[in-house]
A and B are shown apart, each in its own frame.
Chain A
Amino acid sequence: QQQVRQSSQSLTVWEGETAILNCSYENSAFDYFPWYQQFPGEGPALLIAIRSVSDKKEDGRFTIFFNKREKNLSLHIKDSQPGDSATYFCAARYNQGKLIFGQGTKLSIKP
C-alpha cells in the first residue's frame, strides 16, 4: 500500500514556466511533509518542508501548497531553470521520524 503517492512519474516543462508536482497521502497522522531533490549520482537533499498546521510554505522560487482536508500537497517551482531538472520526492513523517517517501517525479526543464 503506497501511503504517499506522487501523481506523475515524469514531468516536462519549458524554461521560465511554473512546474507543479503533486502529492497525496493516506494517513491523517502525518504531520510533516518535506520535499527532497535528487540529482543523478547524488543522494536526496532536503529542498523545502511544511508542517500540517500551515497551508503554504515559500522559499524563493519554491512553494508548497498544503490541503489537509483533501490530504494533498503540491510543490510549485516558479520560473523553472534547466538546473532544476532532477527527481523530486514528496515525503511524510509520523512516529519518531520515520519518513515515508513517494515514488518520485522526474522533472525535465526544456531550454
Chain B
Amino acid sequence: EAAVTQSPRNKVTVTGGNVTLSCRQTNSHNYMYWYRQDTGHGLRLIHYSYGAGNLQIGDVPDGYKATRTTQEDFFLLLELASPSQTSLYFCASSLGWNTEVFFGKGTRLTVV
C-alpha cells in the first residue's frame, strides 16, 4: 500500500502567521499534489509537482506557495495565513499523470 505521510496532523495559527505543511511519500512516485477540502466544495487542487524542483499551479493557488525539495518531500507554505485558509489539507501522490492517486490522512489547519 502506497504511503503518504503528512505533518503536523493538526495546526492552529494566528492571522498573519507563517505556516508550513509537510508531506513525504515513500512510493517513488513522480507526482505530488496539495488539495484543500471544504464542506460544499469537495477537494480543490492548490499546487502539484511532477518531480523535484518542479511546481505547477493548481485551481486555487492564491495565498499558497509550494516547494518540492526532493522526490519524496513536498511542502505547502502559507506566508500570511488568513481565516479563509482554515481547512483540511491533503497531500497526495501518483506514479504518473494517469495512475492511481494516493492520499495522506490530512492536516487540519485553523487560522484564528
Q: How far is the CA of A4 from the CA of B104 in the complex (A)?
A: 23
Q: Which of A46, A100, A102, A104 contacts B101 (CB 8 A)?
A: A46
Q: How far is the CA of A4 from the CA of B45 in the complex (A)?
A: 14
How many positions in chain B have a CB within 8 Å of any CB in the partner chain? Answer: 25
Mark A1-45 against chain B: 1 for CB-CB distance below 8 A, else 0. Answer: 000101001000000000000000000000010000000011111
How many A-B Cβ pairs are below 8 Å? 50
How many positions in chain A have a CB within 8 Å of any CB in the partner chain? Answer: 21
Q: How far is the CA of A45 from the CA of B41 in the complex (A)?
A: 18
Q: Cβ of B94: which chain A residues have Cβ within 8 Å of it?
A: 97
Interface of A toward B, CB cutoff 8 Å = 4, 6, 9, 32, 41-46, 89, 93, 96-104
- What are the nearest 4 A-B pairs in CB distance? A43-B103, A97-B97, A101-B42, A101-B43
